[in-house]
Amino acid sequence: MKECLMCKAPLRNEIRLSEIIRATPLINDPICQGCSNDFLDLADIPTCLGCGRKQTEGMSQPCRDCSRWQQSYPFNFSNCALYEYNQQMKDFMKQYKFNGDYYLRKVFSGQIHRQLKKCPDVIVPIPVGTDTMLTRGFNQVTGLLELVNYSNILKVKAKRKAVRQSEKNRRQRIELIQPFELIQSQKYLIENQSILLVDDVYTTGTTIRHAASLLYHAGATSVRGLTLAR
């Protein structure tokens, strides 16, 4: 019998009522109902139009962080997130990314494929550094995109000065040197194109905006972001 990828409990493939009503194609879920319920899907609830976070009471639209970005960031950029970065998502990330359990990409890669298969944009994953590639053996973002046509346009610049994120204040973070560079031979793929940048987690929004700047400078007409979690 198949097991839930996350909790290893045996999977009974139950046909859900919603699938019968909506007549959506049957999907073999990679995780059990319990594990799936612990992820908070942001699709059906109000979110910040700037970064995709869940709207909470008294939150402005866009949220304060995003308003500040609008003042300091020269380009048009907004992000959409699939799930809240809650405890369940943190546990998933720990296992997938930090423990390096590459097979766990299957928890989301099917769903991401279904969502992106009609996307007309050029899909560009955020890259990981060569060190990570060596030790972890995979890029967690392209793992999630395994069933999607994407274009490797970016790479991490060699030899970045390592400063821990938390040790930098916001201003310093924004002014930090661009961590990415274009793979020159791929540049033609983005000129005059709409781009969808994909990352695993949107935390401060700095990383993905660095990448967006680079793409705008290289001639992209629009750049949006999609992250698994916010």
Partner 1 sequence: MINHISELYGRQIPLRDLSEKLVANPNIVLREAITVQHGLTCVRCGTKLRRSTASLPNNQYYCYVCIQMGRVDTLTQLASVHEPNQFKGINDPLSWKGELTVLQQQCAEKVIEVFQNKRRHLLWAVTGAGKTEMLFKGINWAVENGLRVGIASPRVDVCIELFPRLQAAFEKVPVVLLHGKSEQPYQYSQITICTTHQLLRFYHAFDVLVIDEVDVFPYSGNPMLHYAVQNAVKPDGARLYLTATPDKSLFKAISRKKLSVSYLPIRYHGHFLPEITVNRTKNLDQLVDSGNLPRKILKRIAQLVADKQRFLIFVPHIKDLELVGRAITNARIDARFKTVYSADPQRIEKVALMRNEELDFLITTTILERGVTFPGIDVIVLKADDEIFSAAALVQIAGRVGRNSDRPTGRVLFYCQSKSGNIKSCDQQIKLMNRKAAKL
Footprint of Zn ion (CB under 5 A): 4, 6-7, 32, 35, 48, 50-51, 62-63, 66
With beta carbons less than 8 A apart as the criterion, state whether 180 and 51 touch. Answer: no
If the CB atoms of residues 30 and 127 are measured against Zn ion, the closer one turns out to be 30
Q: How many residues make contact with partner 1 (CB under 8 A)?
A: 13
* Beta carbon of residue 194, minimum distance to partner 1 (angstroms, whole number): 27
Q: Does 103 bind partner 1 (CB under 8 A)?
A: yes
CA 191 to chain centre: 23
Give, in order, the Cα–Cα distances in Å from 162 to each of 138, 167, 199, 216, 220: 21, 11, 20, 26, 29
Footprint of partner 1 on residues 69-98 (CB under 8 A)? 95
38: CB partners within 8 A, 6+ apart: 86, 87, 88
Pairing label, strands 222-229, 79-83: parallel
Nearer residue to partner 1 within complex by CB, 121 or 146: 146
Neighbours of 134 (CB within 10 A): 8
Interacting residue with partner 1 among 131, 133, 165, 170 (CB under 8 A):
133
State the nearest-atom distance from the C-beta of 162 to partner 1, in Å. Answer: 19
Q: How far is the CB of 138 from partner 1 (least distance, A)?
A: 5
Q: Which amino acid is at 178?
A: Q
Does 137 interact with partner 1 (rule: CB under 8 A)?
Answer: yes
Q: With respect to Zn ion, which residue has the nearer C-beta, 76 or 149?
A: 76
Q: Which of 142, 186, 194, 204 binds partner 1 (CB under 8 A)?
A: 142
| Closer residue to Zn ion (CB): 153 or 210 | 210
- Calpha distance 31→11 (Å, rounded): 7
The CA distance from 109 to 147, in Å, is 7
Residues that bind partner 1 (CB under 8 A): 95, 99-103, 133-134, 137-139, 142-143
